[in-house]
Amino acid sequence: MTLAEQMLDTYPADLGGVDRRKLAACITECYACAQACTACADACLSEDDVASLTKCIRADLDCADICFATGQMLSRHTGYDANLTRAMLEACAMACKSCGDICAEHDHMTHCAKCAMECRNCERACRELLDSLG
Amino acid sequence: MTLAEQMLDTYPADLGGVDRRKLAACITECYACAQACTACADACLSEDDVASLTKCIRADLDCADICFATGQMLSRHTGYDANLTRAMLEACAMACKSCGDICAEHDHMTHCAKCAMECRNCERACRELLDSLG
Amino acid sequence: MTLAEQMLDTYPADLGGVDRRKLAACITECYACAQACTACADACLSEDDVASLTKCIRADLDCADICFATGQMLSRHTGYDANLTRAMLEACAMACKSCGDICAEHDHMTHCAKCAMECRNCERACRELLDSLG
Amino acid sequence: MTLAEQMLDTYPADLGGVDRRKLAACITECYACAQACTACADACLSEDDVASLTKCIRADLDCADICFATGQMLSRHTGYDANLTRAMLEACAMACKSCGDICAEHDHMTHCAKCAMECRNCERACRELLDSLG
């Protein structure tokens, strides 16, 4: 059981009809993707051809900020706001899609390959949670 | 001239057709709203009737995280992604609307009154920037 | 192998003499602790006796912010600044110690018990990385 | 009166013997510096000689994260932890000093010149608050 799942199980009030497995998975992916994007941006900075990677770095930085904000929000259940949750999940899925696509363009660099994979994982987790919210 | 405007003027490449005044205003409001919401959440924690303010605190925390992520994103212009910018501005305006509405319900507390006012300012700045993006 | 370790292995330049295992472990704990503290603060908000938990909530919020900033910083290796890294690791270990101590005082609530445990893990990871930096 | 000062004035409990003017000034500078560093990192990405600016970008990113965490922490007064506050103010002053020094090395670029100036302002505000804490 991941720590996010364990924390979810300790919430003292009603979580509503949320799919706990999908919620916990999405929380975990949001923080993991924030870390991977931050590391990828920095790895890009150390590549010889950093000048060709500036859009990738920018996408990484945005994705890290948005994934973190989304992970923080999903970790809270008190006074749940369904519309805001959906809007952030949509924005997060979109950030992960953009960043994943850009990283996948130069996946001969292993940091971009790994980061693209994590962005796909996080995008999927956001979409699956969104679908389960109805 | 605000610091956000000054920084915007130093950007060495083309900013496209963006309305610089509205962009700079929105950046400034995003950071100001993040601060106000963080301070309001903490002030709520020191109220005698904190138990009646838990939804307000949660709205403050979400709004602070989302405003910060939006301010960070709007501070970047390299590899601009119009769809993601719109999605985050929508989410940020929504977070500010929710938080402002909740704070306005108990504006006999000056921290909530001030925070509601700042949320309105930030929501308006997001909407005006969104409208100008076409 | 954790994702943080995998990302570390993709860094294209020299990492200096850093202990990779301890660095990756500390990165992982920083993000995990940020999530646990955010979830614990929210769980506290849903407890009937939230009024007795306000210092715990505040410690959680600080610890989450500091752990995230530390995790971000440790995910970067380009232009490594040893003194700043040490200062942030000290601050992060201190934040985890404070938050862990406060949560441990009411570990009859499982969110505080789990959060205290994660704070101890993160504090230890920071201290072990600090020690290895010499 | 700045918004940070106004929010400080709304805090419903005792603020202890803190110098309100210096505290509010430091909060304002932390958020302003986070924004300036984020904008400077992005402006560097759009410079033709980005390859010579990678250490500056990294310093900007760290400084933004640390200033934001410090600004968040200083915006909270409930359950004040003097030692942790001092440790974060020291780390923040150090991050601002490093980033300001690096930006000042190439202040022929106006984003680095402006960012260096803001880093100096934030460093000074942190030091003045630290001194006033005794």
pLDDT, tens only, B25-66:
999 999 999 999 999 999 999 999 999 999 999 999 999 999
C neighbour chains, 3+ CB pairs within 8 Å = A, B, D
Distance of residue C41 Cα from the nearest chain D Cα, in angstroms: 14
Distance of residue C87 Cα from the nearest chain D Cα, in angstroms: 5
Residue A57's pLDDT is what?
98
CB contacts of B45 in chain D (<8 Å) are 78
State whether residue C58 sits within 8 Å of chain D by CB: yes
Residue D44's pLDDT is what?
98
CB contacts of D46 in chain B (<8 Å) are 11-13, 77-78
Angle at C112 between CA C106 and CA C113, to 5 degrees: 90
Q: What is the mean pLDDT of residues B72-94?
A: 98
Mean pLDDT by runs of 10 across the 134 residues of chain D is 97 94 98 98 98 98 98 97 98 98 97 98 98 91
Residue C134 binned pLDDT confidence (cut-offs 50, 70, 90): confident
Is the pLDDT confidence value at B75 over 90? yes
Cβ-defined contact of B54 to C45 (cutoff 8 Å)? yes
Residue A31's pLDDT is what?
98
Distance of residue D50 Cα from the nearest chain A Cα, in angstroms: 6
Q: Residue B13 CB: number of other CB atoms within 10 A?
A: 14
CB contacts of C110 in chain A (<8 Å) are 9-10
Percent of chain B scoring above 70 in pLDDT = 100
Please check whether residue B2 is in contact with residue B24, taking contact to mean a CB–CB distance below 8 angstroms.
yes
Residue B110 binned pLDDT confidence (cut-offs 50, 70, 90): very high
Please check whether residue A66 is in contact with residue A97, taking contact to mean a CB–CB distance below 8 angstroms.
no
Distance of residue B14 Cα from the nearest chain C Cα, in angstroms: 28
Residue A99 binned pLDDT confidence (cut-offs 50, 70, 90): very high
Cβ-defined contact of C50 to B46 (cutoff 8 Å)? no
Q: Compare CB distances from C43 to A11, A35, A110 and report the shortest one's residue.
A: A11
Closest-CA residue of chain C to B54:
C45
Residue C73 binned pLDDT confidence (cut-offs 50, 70, 90): very high
CB contacts of B74 in chain D (<8 Å) are none
Cβ-defined contact of B10 to D34 (cutoff 8 Å)? no
State whether residue D53 sits within 8 Å of chain B by CB: no
User: 3-state DSSP call for residue B18?
Assistant: coil
Is the pLDDT confidence value at A134 over 90? no
User: 3-state DSSP call for residue A104?
Assistant: helix
**d(C-alpha B32, C-alpha B67), whole Å:** 9
Distance of residue D81 Cα from the nearest chain C Cα, in angstroms: 8
Cβ-defined contact of A72 to B95 (cutoff 8 Å)? no
Percent of chain A scoring above 90 in pLDDT = 98
Is the pLDDT confidence value at B134 over 90? no
CB contacts of D42 in chain B (<8 Å) are 11, 75-78
Closest-CA residue of chain B to D6:
B114
Tokens of C129: 């990385």
CB contacts of A38 in chain C (<8 Å) are 71-72, 75-76
Residues 6+ apart with CB under 8 A from D28: D2, D4, D125
Cβ-defined contact of A94 to B87 (cutoff 8 Å)? yes
Cβ-defined contact of A46 to D61 (cutoff 8 Å)? no
* B30-64 core/surface letters (b: 16 or more CB in 10 A; e: else): bbbbbbbbbbbbbbbbbbeebeebbbbbbbbbbbb
**Three-class SS string for chain D?**
CCHHHHHHHCCCCCCCCCCHHHHHHHHHHHHHHHHHHHHHHHHHHCCCCHHHCHHHHHHHHHHHHHHHHHHHHHCCCCCCCHHHHHHHHHHHHHHHHHHHHHHHCCCCCHHHHHHHHHHHHHHHHHHHHHHHHC
ipTM of the complex: 0.98
Q: Compare CB distances from D66 to C61, C69, C94 and report the shortest one's residue.
A: C69
Cβ-defined contact of B58 to C45 (cutoff 8 Å)? yes
Percent of chain C scoring above 90 in pLDDT = 98
Q: Compare CB distances from C54 to B50, B58, B61 and report the shortest one's residue.
A: B50
Residue A102 binned pLDDT confidence (cut-offs 50, 70, 90): very high
Q: What is the mean pLDDT of residues C69-88?
A: 97
Q: Compare CB distances from A50 to D42, D46, D50 and report the shortest one's residue.
A: D50
pLDDT tens digit sequence for A43-57:
999 999 999 999 999
Dihedral sign, CA of D66, C30, A13, A128? Answer: positive
pLDDT tens digit sequence for C81-125:
999 999 999 999 999 999 999 999 999 999 999 999 999 999 999
Q: Residue written as tokens 């670029």?
A: D109
Residue C104's pLDDT is what?
98
Closest-CA residue of chain D to B61:
D72
pTM over 0.90: yes
Tokens of A96: 């992960």
Cβ-defined contact of A42 to D50 (cutoff 8 Å)? no
